[in-house]
Amino acid sequence: MTKKPSLTGRVSTVISTLLNVTERDILPLLRKGVSEGNGPFAAAIFKKSDLSTVVVSCNKWRESPLLHGETNCIREFFVLPEPSRPAVADTLFFATHEPCPLCLSAVSWTRFDTVYFLFTHEETRDLLGVGGDIEILEEVFRVRAPCDTDETLASRARYNKTNKFFTAKSVAELMEEVEDLDEKEALRSEAERVKKLFHEFRDASRSYSEI
């Protein structure tokens, strides 16, 4: 049995790579996509072995409402010729924003077992003005048990971040695994700097949420 590549011991490198690719490769794609009327959301797939980029893609809502950043990225991954396409188990999946129900399902069906994201659902709602992900998770997927009150229902997690299909973590959660405090603080500062670069998409995000 082939052993899966491990990311253990490389947390700082993983975080730095995600942030660097976001600024260098993802943001230019988003600027072009947003100028064409698409949403400011993107995803990338990396090899676990050396953290090289396999695919970077962005939201193509104007082509199809199903082509979110994540689903479009998955589509582009699977049309790669097999010699240049790594096994799914040998990759990690990164989304600029915590995946919505559609994209969580797509990740599950395609068996990407490691998922990281920069903005949480709450940050996407509060900072970029897009709250549809939370609304769908709560209205469609969160089922009230007979013993639930409004308070207990609201306190329940919207989805299982660790499950038989994948483990999902925000960059902030991943950062808690960095042991060196100075290194952790430097990574936090860098993450906040990169997040602020998304402020240019605020108006586009709000327009997208109203479509």
Per the structure, the complete domain to which residue 195 belongs is given by 11-134+165-209
Over residues 126-154, the pLDDT tens digits come to 887 888 888 888 888 888 889 989 898 88
Quick one: pLDDT at residue 138?
Answer: 86
Can you give the pTM of this predicted structure?
Answer: 0.91
Provide DSSP, 115-143. EEEEE-HHHHHHHH---HHHHHIIIII-P
**Residues 6 or more apart in contact with residue 204 via CB below 8 angstroms:** 34, 39, 40
Q: Does 151 reside within a domain?
A: no
Which residues, listed in sequence order, are joined to residue 48 by a DSSP beta bridge? none
Over residues 157-200, the pLDDT tens digits come to 889 999 999 999 999 999 999 999 999 999 999 999 999 999 99
Could you tell me the pLDDT band of residue 113, with boundaries at 50, 70 and 90?
Answer: very high
Q: Does 145 reside within a domain?
A: no
Give the CATH number for residue 122.
3.40.140.10
Q: Does 3 reside within a domain?
A: no
Q: What is the DSSP letter of 204?
A: H
Over residues 194-210, the pLDDT tens digits come to 999 999 988 765 555 54
Q: Is the pLDDT of residue 5 over 60?
A: no
Number of folded domains that form the chain: 1
Q: Is the pLDDT of residue 109 over 50?
A: yes
Q: Does 149 reside within a domain?
A: no
Q: Does 47 reside within a domain?
A: yes
Say how far apart CA 21 and CA 63 lie, in whole Å.
Answer: 25
Q: Does 6 reside within a domain?
A: no
Over residues 11-60, the pLDDT tens digits come to 999 999 999 999 999 999 999 999 999 999 999 999 999 999 999 999 99
Long-range contact list for 119-123, CB < 8 A, 24+ apart? 119/170, 119/195, 119/198, 120/170, 120/172, 121/97, 121/158, 123/195
Quick one: pLDDT at residue 117?
Answer: 98
Quick one: pLDDT at residue 207?
Answer: 55
Over residues 93-104, the pLDDT tens digits come to 999 999 999 999
Q: Is the pLDDT of residue 2 over 70?
A: no
- Cα distances from 62 to residues 38, 52, 68, 120, 125, in angstroms, run 6, 29, 10, 24, 21
Q: Does 192 reside within a domain?
A: yes
